[in-house]
Amino acid sequence: MDFQIGDLISFLDSTEKGIIKEVRNNSYIIAVDEFEIEYPKSIKIIKTGSNKAKESVDNTLIEESKEVFILDPFSLNNVSICFISSEIKHELKSLRTFIYNNTDTNILIVLYNQLGLKTELVFDGRIGCNNQIEISKSIKLEEINQLIYQIIFSKPNEIIAPYNGNFKIKSKYLSDPKNFTHNTNYGDAIIKSLYDNNDIINKPLIITQIESSTLNYLSKKIIIPSANQHLKEKYIIKNDTIELDLHLNKLIERLNKDKEFSNDFEILEFQKSECRKGIEYAIQNDKITKIILIHGNGTGKLRSEIEKIIKEYENLQSQDASFKEYGFGAIFVKIIKNFNKNKNIFY
């Protein structure tokens, strides 16, 4: 069947209907639904087509639209990140960014951007099998530097170890239109495979030159914990009280693992994270009603952050811990197990 722009179509795999906005090499079309949301469809699963909707299509939108990069879900078996040119050539300042999951498995992925000493969360979420998600409509080139990520594969009755990776890419490389490849199916794009199960890195489509010299450095500076790490952690519990020492050396000793930090900010964030984990563990344990959070006698910064965390929970009450046992270096927290949030009362 010969499909044309403006044809009204429906599909074999769903009850959706749409209007053809673009035809890609007689294998893919870009359709627009009633909410003007674009999505790709294989011509193999198109059921009907007609010219009834041609007059309702915005021709100006079609002529000015930028081709969106699409991966054939049946041709690859990998997870990849794609940078797409969203501006006029020779004036690239920002890019649209997609993550493509071209596997038969649902995934959870967390992606960080490391820029100097600053670590920023870019994306954290689920992507279905043979699916994609746009994580940024306009990411500034100067903000792209070193990407660190973890992929968790979700298969029924099967445990798959998380896949950790990282790479560095120069913003100068991304800003040069000459480094973007273009063809009928894919548009202007630079693609980097994040997880590859079929050794496709050397295919012509994967053209970006990724540096790998910083991988060892990054792996030492930033560690993405595995999904079940917290199950291995142990707490000191005495009767109905949990005691959590937030001194850095005590935390590392309790977790029984090596950990390196680049600066004081990373150390403080680590201590705050462990503080929250301890509080959550205590709240969920019916036998625990008290928490001792040991912060020590320092600048007061850690104590201040702990007090902010405690205020996040409506069912916690706090005061200074026993001076005889801890001096000025600990906070005593009481957990109100029967707290009615709607009425804001204890009973």
Please list, in sequence order, all residues whose beta carbon lies within 8 angstroms of the beta carbon of residue 342, skipping any fewer than 6 positions away.
Answer: none
> Does the pLDDT value for residue 275 go beyond 50?
yes
Position 16 scores a pLDDT of: 64
C-alpha distance across the termini of the chain, in Å: 70
Distance of CA 210 to the CA centre of its chain: 20
Position 8 scores a pLDDT of: 76
306 near 318, Cβ under 8 Å? Answer: no
Helix (H, G, I), strand (E, B) or coil at 152: strand
Q: Express as a percent the part of the chain with pLDDT over 70.
A: 52
Residue range 93-115, pLDDT digits in tens: 667 788 888 777 788 888 887 77
293 near 246, Cβ under 8 Å? Answer: yes
Among 69-73, 84-88, 147-151, 318-322, the range of highest mean pLDDT: 318-322
76 near 19, Cβ under 8 Å? Answer: no
Place of tokens 């020492």: 245
pTM: predicted TM-score of the whole model, two decimal places: 0.36
Place of tokens 């749409």: 18
- Which amino acid belongs to residue 272? K
* pLDDT confidence tier of residue 65, bands split at 50, 70 and 90: very low
238 or 221, higher pLDDT: 238
The structural domains of the chain, with segments of one domain joined by +, span 8-64, 78-221, 229-346
Residue range 196-214, pLDDT digits in tens: 554 333 323 233 333 334 4
Dihedral sign (CA 208, 211, 217, 220): positive
User: What's the CATH number of domain 229-346, 2.40.340.10, 3.60.20.10, 3.30.1370.110, 1.10.3430.10?
Assistant: 3.30.1370.110
Q: Tell me the average pLDDT across 224-246.
A: 67
The backbone torsions φ and ψ at residue 294, rounded to the nearest 5 degrees and listed phi first, read -90, 120
Domain 78-221 matching CATH 2.60.40.1600: the answer reads yes
302 near 336, Cβ under 8 Å? Answer: no
* pLDDT confidence tier of residue 185, bands split at 50, 70 and 90: very low
* pLDDT confidence tier of residue 251, bands split at 50, 70 and 90: confident
78-221 and 229-346 share one fold = no
User: What does pLDDT average to over the chain?
Assistant: 69
**Lowest-pLDDT choice from 46-55, 155-164, 259-268, 330-339:** 46-55
> Does the pLDDT value for residue 219 go beyond 50?
no
Position 189 scores a pLDDT of: 65
Query: Nearest to residue 169, comparing CAs of 142, 196, 151?
Result: 142
H helices within 56-159, ranges in order? 59-64
Q: Express as a percent the part of the chain with pLDDT over 90.
A: 11
